[in-house]
Amino acid sequence: MKLIKNAIYNLGGLGLPLVVAVFCIPVLIRELGEARFGLLTLIWAVVSYFGLFDLGLGRALTQLLAVAIAEKDEKRVRPLVATAIALMAVLGVFAGLLMALLASWGVGLIQSVPDRQETIDAVLWMALAMPAIVLTSGFRGVLEARHAFGIINAIRLPMGLFTFIGPVLVLIYGSARLDAIAGVLTAGRIVACAIHAWYALRNLPNGGGEFVPQRSLLKPLCVSGGWLTLSNIISPLMGYVDRFIIGGIISAAAVAYYTTPQEIVTKLWVVPAALTAVLFPTFSAQIASGFEGTRQLFGKAVYWIYLFLLPITAFLVVFANEILSIWINSEFSQHSANLLRVFSIGILLNCLAHIPLTLIQGMGKPKITTLIHLLELPCFLIIIWWLTTLYGPMGAAIAWCIRIVFDTLLLFIVCSHLQKWKISNFLNFRLTILIIVTAFAFSGFLFNSLEIRFAFIVFAISVSIIGVLKLLPRKYFNFTPF
């Protein structure tokens, strides 16, 4: 029950800001204009990407702390945290300097930029925030290892709200300038880092050794973090490169048409993220202690994510035109509705893939996920450039979805092999039914009648409810689809 409670905390901390985003994004598009809003999404993407300069140390720290605590090796805790934080501080400064040096060159690659200097200044502001962003991942890693998810989300929620409300307040009380928005967001990131640091240090166990960096701890951190780094560099690169290819080949306005529906569906990552943040230290501790229930926990996680997300993604596919017309406007919907459908189909699979990814990394084998991403990267870059050149934003969306399908299948196969699970456990009658149900629910967009389309959604929701009722007689999720 503690795992479920912590997952609910995470879902609230990650999900509630999205409700605010629904109201704020149309305001930002209207006040900034499509080109400036497209640039703002690119700046957000760059900041998220450069945040990976923690070199995977945040997650490596979570895993090593979880193992140390499970093995009752508490004297190792404080030196481990001190070593990781010192290293991440240096990396954060380096990331900020690199972003600042590349600002002018990067902005020059984008077509149809309204005000080049304003955009460069916005990037420079965010470069100033990079040390705080990198350090925050380390302090959050400490709190995750201690299962302090209530504290994490007490910080995450207001900061998540500020990410969207802050820019709107700048527009209302300041001006429609990207650099002013970036300055406000930078201040928020620094405050968030300070609060995370305060609570992380307070949650370290007593008697956990001296808070002094130790050279001997660099190797375990860097070995685990190094492979996580490569994976964390490559995976977001594949997630963001489509935006920059569209900006370079077409225009900044086309980026807005593409990223807005993408932002809608990728926010559904909060569902697996809420769960995997709890599962990662849990898997690590289970494997370290030889616990036998990992397979059952894995199955529950996959099945519950599917049940939760099928109705949502089906609704986005079936009512894509109506959603975008009401949310933005009908002209915007004409450009983006089909993109929203493609993204919604892909995101359901992608959210399921988070579970095998988390288990593989929890086993202490981030090298494997990195090799998978290294295999995917060149193929994806070739496909997305080719399809974007031929079909514009829709080509990029199709390439994105192709990669998601391949990535999901490969992660499940590899995870089954590592855990010595039979592939036949996946290829069963229940899986066949779930695939048919999913295809049926998504196909509702082919009908013009709102009533018929609504019936398809009701069907998808009913399947989810039936699935939940099937689970209830087994106390506290005592069911696995495998």
* Lookup result for tokens 């994004």: 25
Do residues 203 and 162 touch, judged by C-beta distance below 8 A?
A: no
Listed residue (311, 294, 320) closest to 416, CA to CA: 294
Tell me how far apart the alpha carbons of residues 226 and 210 are, in angstroms, rounded to a whole number: 25
Listed residue (12, 101, 92, 100) closest to 52, CA to CA: 92
* Exposed / middle / buried, residue 394 (Cβ in 10 Å: 0-12, 13-18, 19+): middle
Residue 125 token pair = 């502001």
Q: Give the DSSP per-residue string, 387-445.
A: HHHHHTHHHHHHHHHHHHHHHHHHHHHHHHHHTT--GGGTSSHHHHHHHHHHHHHHGGG
- Decide: helix, strand or coil at residue 475: coil
- Decide: helix, strand or coil at residue 476: coil
Residue 160: the pLDDT is: 78
199-202 CB contacts, 8 Å cutoff, 24+ apart: 199/139, 199/143, 199/148, 199/151, 199/155, 200/81, 200/139, 200/140, 200/142, 200/143
Q: Which residues, 6 or more positions from 17, have their beta carbon under 8 angstroms from its beta carbon? A: 157, 160, 161, 163, 164
pLDDT in tens, the chain (482 residues): 555 665 665 666 666 776 777 777 787 877 777 777 777 777 766 666 555 555 566 777 777 777 777 666 667 778 888 888 888 888 889 888 988 888 888 777 766 667 778 888 888 888 898 888 888 888 888 888 777 777 887 887 888 788 888 888 888 877 778 888 888 888 888 998 999 899 888 877 765 557 777 776 766 666 555 555 666 666 666 766 777 787 777 766 677 778 778 877 877 877 777 777 777 667 766 666 555 667 777 777 888 888 888 888 888 888 888 888 888 778 888 888 889 999 998 888 888 888 888 888 777 676 787 788 788 888 888 888 899 888 888 888 899 889 889 888 888 888 877 777 766 666 656 667 777 778 877 887 888 877 788 887 787 777 666 655 554 444 433 434 44
Sign of CA dihedral 303, 14, 189, 238: positive
- Decide: helix, strand or coil at residue 102: helix
Listed residue (152, 96, 94) closest to 126, CA to CA: 96
Helical (H) or strand (E) element with 299: helix 294-318
Listed residue (193, 212, 226, 230) closest to 96, CA to CA: 193
Listed residue (416, 417, 414, 387) closest to 399, CA to CA: 387
Listed residue (77, 74, 50) closest to 62, CA to CA: 77
Rounded alpha-carbon distances, angstroms, from residue 20 to 14, 159, 160, 184: 11, 12, 9, 17
Residue 189: the pLDDT is: 87
- Decide: helix, strand or coil at residue 448: coil
Residue 282 token pair = 């849990």
SS (H, E, C) 232-294: HHHHHHHHHHHHHHHHHHCCHHHHHHHHHHHHHHHHHHHHHHHHHHHHHHHHHHHHHHCCCCH
The pTM assigned to this predicted structure is 0.62
Tell me how far apart the alpha carbons of residues 401 and 405 are, in angstroms, rounded to a whole number: 6
* Backbone angle region of 207, left / alpha / beta, with phi > 0 → left and psi within -120 to 50 → alpha: left
Q: Give the DSSP per-residue string, 187-234.
A: HHHHHHHHHHHHHHHHTSPTT---S---GGGHHHHHHHHHHHHHHHHH
DSSP character for 21?
H
* Lookup result for tokens 């409700």: 19
Residue 475: the pLDDT is: 42
Do residues 378 and 296 touch, judged by C-beta distance below 8 A?
A: no
Burial 421-451 (b: 16+ CB within 10 A, else e): beeeebeeeeeeebeebbeebbebbeeeeee
* Backbone angle region of 422, left / alpha / beta, with phi > 0 → left and psi within -120 to 50 → alpha: beta
